[in-house]
Structure 1
Amino acid sequence: MTPTAPFIASRIHRTSASRAAALAFTLAASASLGMLSGCYSEGGSGMSDDQHVYVSSAWQPKTVTLKDTRTGQAFWSIDIPVGKKLVIQFREGSGEPGFTPADATPDMMLWDLMAPDEDFGPLANQIPVPPAAARRLDWVMRSTPELPESMGGSSTTPGPTPAATPKPAARTK
């Protein structure tokens, strides 16, 4: 029994469609895995994934502070060395609920210092942090220019000199 032409054409069409669907799924899965691991470039990944990247340079040396907005106090802070970047990711519900009073730190902050051209990799440090509604990241720029550690790590401009304190006039009797 010989298959008819329409049957063969239908079978070829289904096979091509199946291959195309499998290829599309594979590409989508690969792209998703790439996004989950994160692209650590300044400006973020382009999606809402609670990831932050700060690059510190000689003319923009940065200090990043995580504040607990419930108390207004600094919860964590780091001076990013010149020539490095700080990558921070927050994981909701991965902190230590029940460990601290009133579940003060239910989320987990993963962070690491990396080379500026390093765009992927695991984040080696973690700390339990306040929930998203009770935390804020602030950054400030330190005095410039600041040299990288490999060049001495000190500023090329002298710091402020203290004003001379006038001596009181000697009293005469």
Structure 2
Amino acid sequence: MSRRFTAIPFIAFLALAAILSTGLGGCYTPGGGLFAASNSPFTYFSTPEYPKTFVLVNTKTGENIFEMHIPVGKALVVKFQQGQGDDPSMTPDLMKYGVFPIKDTSGMLTSSITVPGSYSRRIDIFLTTGEAYTPPDENRPIRTDKKEDRPAGWTSEGGPSDEVAPDPMKFYDP
């Protein structure tokens, strides 16, 4: 019986290790997730205050390889995979990417593009112009504490009033 109780913590430890190694290693967060490394996915949020544009530049030629305006309320997640490109000299790496809602912390990176190696590429992030401020309508009703602005049936004493509509339950029931 004591052998059974000593095996339970070991099994729980193995289950926790399996969950951490499969689930949390691929989380998409701005800091890189629980086990952040240079080969971890990078996450870029676009908010109404700070809408962003992501640009990947080939530093050898100066051309923009990939450019995306990240929609407001979304996050762009990119992950570079070394040696997965189609040309060993010009584009040896593969960039996988996906656009997710900001609240999502994991998902499949279903899109990809071949890119130059890590020493021949640069990521530029640009803040784009956000939504313009819209002033409130001049003719909107503004709440005041004047007696004429109070709702029908309001009295300073409280209690029932003749101006209040009848009980809807009694109105519809015969």
Alignment TM-score > 0.5, same fold:
yes
1:121 corresponds in structure 2 to 107
Instruction: List per-residue Cα deviations over 1:108-159 (Å, max 9, x = no partner).
Output: 111111111111111121111111222221101012x32xxxxxxxx458xx
Q: Which has the higher contact order (CA 8 A, sep 6+)?
A: 1
Structure 1 unaligned spans of 5+:
1-10, 147-154, 158-173
Higher Cα Rg, which structure: 2
Structure 2 unaligned spans of 5+:
135-174
1:53 corresponds in structure 2 to 43
* Cα RMSD after superposing both structures: 2.1
- How far off its partner does 1:18 sit? 4.1
* Count of residue correspondences: 132
The structure whose residues are more often helix, as a share, is 1
Instruction: List per-residue Cα deviations over 1:8-55 (Å, max 9, x = no partner).
Output: xxx945x5444433321221111010133x222233214103311111
1:3 corresponds in structure 2 to none
TM-score in terms of structure 2 length: 0.67
In the alignment, structure 1 residue 76 sits paired with structure 2 residue 66: yes
Q: Which of the residues 109, 113, 117 maps onto 2:95?
A: 109
User: Sequence identity, in percent?
Assistant: 33
> Runs ≥4 in structure 1, deviation > 6 angstroms?
none
From the superposition, tell whether residues 136 and 17 of structure 1 become closer, same or farther in structure 2 (CA, over 3 Å).
farther
Is 20-29 or 58-67 further displaced after alignment? Answer: 20-29
TM-score in terms of structure 1 length: 0.67
Cα distance in 2 for residues equivalent to 1:133 and 1:26? 39
Conserved in 1, the CA contact under 8 Å of 2:41 and 2:79?
A: yes
1:31 corresponds in structure 2 to 20
2:83 corresponds in structure 1 to 93
